[in-house]
């Protein structure tokens, strides 16, 4: 818990980050490494973020000339900034951007337009509709990106390296280049990139603006060669054959943090969750099919459940012999389409349990409350990992489960996940739309001989950890060096 500090003038120095113009390495992202919650008694709780991306970007924390620029995302963050401690973490600068501007930029454009385009999620007979409301939100997206560009320009030392993260900040490289042509700028897209035909759903001027924004970087980087090639194809088609002059394309496949995961997965709280899950699974010999996702539309949880139902319907020998442990943690619940999707996941899980469940067997064990220790417990118990996204930039779950699985697990993997590029050779690969083929893959995974499964798991774990998070970040930083 962070104690409330004494009041300070609005223009007083409010952080211990580098003074303006002194940062040699800067990271920019919508969400930062720390968030604040305002308690009822008026004090603030600080919580560090988790995940592979945060772990990788946190490599800048070892430097005293580094700065992480992010947005104040909630009331707690904004209150922390007002009190002078919202930027109190070493090397972290929170931008207190108008909440309405952020909502338009984040929900209206980033998550409701750009995310849908790059994940090919639109139902095109009805959507998208680029009308006056869209144009108003786009202006907010520009304002949001401009705030980041100005903050980075103000804080960067001469010739500093700036690494901008993801689709929320696609315009920043171009804006920053205009303000500070001396800087070395990289941009990393953590999502897929749409092929040209789908990307051109966007209004022509917006498509061009997005591409030119990213081409303001010295290096524009992606998780897989497939997404990088799609970007270059869009640039060529929309901007012309010479569009990429001056911008290098990089590919850096973010890996799992093996040391952290293995240590964390054997702490006492994970052991407690394993005991509780075993009780829910019931039967010492029952096999488990595990999935851990947020209820993002791209994760394809509903079709995964349909495939499991088909397995039970067509392979009755698996009834009472297998349990689908499904963690579907609610995501973006301020958007109606995500709330509806989360409700459909719950409805379908209940329907499967009603149809096939018995007094001693619950076919689907569904949890919707985020619990990292419980996720790690499920990883350790997994006989089969189901990762079947419609489309995914990488998918770290596919990499994490083989790293910590106790007895080895078979991986059923969508060919549309970025992780397929690295893990496909040792996974059971599926078309994410084909429920029947996915059910067949689940059956094959459940029946793999133990030694085959163990050998595959070892190779999957090696591939999954080839570029751990901090090395992933440092590789990008080194590639921006003047001599690179």
403 has a pLDDT exceeding 70: yes
How would DSSP label each residue in 224-264?
A: SHHHHHHHHHHHHHHH-TTTTTT-EEEE------HHHHHHH
Query: Which pLDDT score, from 0 to 100, does residue 50 have?
Result: 62
Please name the residues in contact with 62: beta carbons below 8 A apart, sequence gap of 6 or more. Answer: none
Query: Which pLDDT score, from 0 to 100, does residue 331 have?
Result: 75
Q: What angle do CA 209, 52, 90 make, to 5 degrees?
A: 85
148 has a pLDDT exceeding 50: yes
Sheet with 156-165: list strands edge to edge. Answer: 92-95, 66-71, 23-28, 156-165, 184-189, 219-222, 248-251
Please tell me which of 33-47, 290-304, 323-337 the model is most confident about, judged by mean pLDDT: 290-304
Q: Give the confidence band of 181 by pLDDT, cuts at 50, 70, 90.
A: very high
Measuring CA to CA, which residue among 217, 349, 230 is closest to residue 289? 349
Mean pLDDT, residues 244-254 taken together? 94
20 has a pLDDT exceeding 80: no
Mean pLDDT, residues 278-303 taken together? 93
13 has a pLDDT exceeding 50: no
Q: Give the confidence band of 40 by pLDDT, cuts at 50, 70, 90.
A: confident
249 has a pLDDT exceeding 60: yes
Instruction: Point out the least confidently predicted range of 78-82, 166-170, 289-293.
Output: 78-82
Mean pLDDT, residues 103-129 taken together? 96
Query: Which pLDDT score, from 0 to 100, does residue 12 have?
Result: 29
| 75 membership: H or E segment, kind and range | helix 75-83
- Residues 273-283: pLDDT tens digits? 999 999 999 97
Give the C-alpha distances (Å, rounded to integers) separating 286 from 279, 318, 363, 381, 446.
Answer: 11, 9, 11, 11, 11
- Residues 343-375: pLDDT tens digits? 999 999 999 999 999 999 999 999 988 889 999
* pTM given for the model: 0.91
Query: Which pLDDT score, from 0 to 100, does residue 2 have?
Result: 33
d(CA 403, CA 483): 36
110 has a pLDDT exceeding 80: yes
Query: Which pLDDT score, from 0 to 100, does residue 336 have?
Result: 81
Give the C-alpha distances (Å, rounded to integers) separating 210 from 78, 147, 199, 262, 301.
Answer: 29, 17, 11, 40, 30
**Does residue 128 have a cis peptide bond before it, meaning omega lies within 30 degrees of 0?**
yes
Give the C-alpha distances (Å, rounded to integers) separating 307 from 315, 316, 318.
Answer: 12, 14, 13
Q: Which long-range contacts (CB under 8 A, 24 or more apart) does 209-212 make?
A: 209/171, 210/114, 210/170, 210/171, 211/235, 211/238, 211/239, 211/243, 212/174, 212/239
Mean pLDDT, residues 208-234 taken together? 98
Q: How many CB atoms lie within 10 A of CB 20?
A: 12
How would DSSP label each residue in 137-178?
A: HHHHHHHHHHHHHHHHHHHEEEEEEEEEESGGGTTHHHHHHH
Query: Which pLDDT score, from 0 to 100, does residue 369 have?
Result: 86
d(CA 218, CA 404): 37
Q: Give the confidence band of 52 by pLDDT, cuts at 50, 70, 90.
A: low
15 has a pLDDT exceeding 50: no
Mean pLDDT, residues 236-254 taken together? 94
d(CA 130, CA 134): 5
Q: Give the confidence band of 61 by pLDDT, cuts at 50, 70, 90.
A: low
Measuring CA to CA, which residue among 93, 71, 100 is closest to residue 17? 93
86 has a pLDDT exceeding 90: no
Q: Give the confidence band of 156 by pLDDT, cuts at 50, 70, 90.
A: very high
Query: Which pLDDT score, from 0 to 100, does residue 56 have?
Result: 66
Measuring CA to CA, which residue among 180, 161, 176, 155 is closest to residue 20? 155
Query: Which pLDDT score, from 0 to 100, does residue 251 have?
Result: 97
Please, what is the average pLDDT of the chain?
90
Q: Which long-range contacts (CB under 8 A, 24 or more apart) does 403-407 make?
A: 403/256, 403/258, 403/261, 403/262, 403/461, 403/464, 403/465, 404/261, 404/262, 404/265, 404/376, 404/379, 404/380, 405/379, 405/380, 405/457, 406/380, 406/381, 407/383, 407/450, 407/454
234 has a pLDDT exceeding 90: yes
d(CA 469, CA 479): 16
Mean pLDDT, residues 284-296 taken together? 92
Please name the residues in contact with 285: beta carbons below 8 A apart, sequence gap of 6 or more. Answer: 321
Contact by Cβ (8 Å): 3, 73: no
Mean pLDDT, residues 182-209 taken together? 98
What DSSP character marks residue 361? B
Mean pLDDT, residues 450-474 taken together? 94
d(CA 289, CA 113): 33
Q: Which residues of 24-58 are buried (b: 16+ CB within 10 A; e: fewer)?
A: bbbbbbbbbbbbbbbeeeeebebeebeebbbbbbb
Q: Give the confidence band of 9 by pLDDT, cuts at 50, 70, 90.
A: very low
Query: Cα torsion at 368, 374, 378, 380 (round to 10°)?
Result: 160
Mean pLDDT, residues 399-412 taken together? 96
């Amino acid at each position: 818990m962070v104690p409330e500090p004494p009041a300070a003038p609005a223009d007083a120095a409010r952080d211990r980050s580098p003074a303006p113009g002194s940062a040699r390495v800067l990271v920019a992202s919508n969400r930062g490494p720390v968030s604040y919650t305002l308690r009822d008694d008026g004090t603030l709780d600080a919580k560090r973020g988790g995940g592979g991306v945060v772990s990788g970007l946190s490599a800048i924390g070892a430097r005293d000339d580094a700065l992480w620029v992010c947005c104040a995302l909630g009331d707690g963050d904004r209150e922390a900034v007002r009190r002078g401690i919202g930027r109190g973490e070493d090397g972290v600068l929170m931008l207190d951007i108008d909440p309405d501007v952020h909502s338009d930029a984040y929900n209206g454009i980033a998550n409701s337009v750009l995310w849908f385009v790059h994940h090919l999620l639109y139902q095109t007979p009805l959507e998208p509709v680029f009308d006056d409301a869209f144009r108003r939100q786009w202006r907010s997206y520009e304002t949001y990106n401009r705030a980041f560009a100005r903050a980075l320009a103000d804080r960067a030392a001469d010739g500093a390296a700036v690494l901008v993260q993801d689709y929320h900040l696609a315009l920043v490289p171009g804006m920053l280049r205009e303000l500070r042509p001396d800087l070395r700028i990289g941009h990393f897209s953590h999502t897929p990139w749409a092929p040209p035909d789908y990307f051109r759903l966007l209004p022509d001027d917006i498509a061009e603006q997005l591409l030119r924004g990213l081409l303001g970087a010295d290096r524009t980087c992606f998780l897989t060669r497939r997404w990088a090639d799609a970007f270059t194809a869009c640039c060529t088609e929309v901007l012309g054959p010479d569009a990429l002059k001056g911008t290098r394309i990089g590919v850096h496949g973010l890996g799992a943090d093996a040391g952290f995961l293995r240590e964390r997965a054997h702490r006492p709280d994970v052991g407690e969750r394993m005991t509780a899950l075993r009780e829910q699974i019931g039967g010492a010999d029952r096999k488990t099919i595990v999935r851990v996702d947020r209820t993002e539309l791209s994760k394809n949880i509903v079709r995964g459940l349909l495939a499991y139902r088909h397995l039970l319907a067509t392979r009755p020998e698996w009834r009472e012999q297998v349990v689908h442990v499904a963690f579907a943690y609610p995501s973006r619940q301020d958007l109606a389409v995500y709330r509806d999707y989360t409700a459909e996941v719950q409805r379908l899980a209940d329907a499967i349990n009603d149809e096939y469940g018995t007094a001693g067997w619950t076919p689907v064990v569904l949890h919707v409350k985020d619990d990292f220790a419980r996720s790690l417990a499920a990883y350790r118990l997994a006989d089969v990992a189901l990762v079947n996204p419609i489309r995914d930039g990488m998918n770290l779950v596919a990499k994490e489960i083989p790293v910590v699985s106790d007895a080895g697990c078979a991986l059923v993997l969508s060919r549309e996940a970025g992780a397929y590029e690295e893990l496909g050779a040792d996974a059971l690969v599926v078309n994410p739309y084909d429920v029947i083929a996915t059910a067949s893959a689940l059956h094959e995974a459940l029946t793999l001989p133990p030694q085959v499964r163990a050998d595959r798991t070892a190779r999957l774990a090696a591939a999954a950890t080839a570029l751990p998070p901090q090395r992933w970040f440092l590789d990008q930083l080194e590639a921006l060096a003047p001599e690179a």
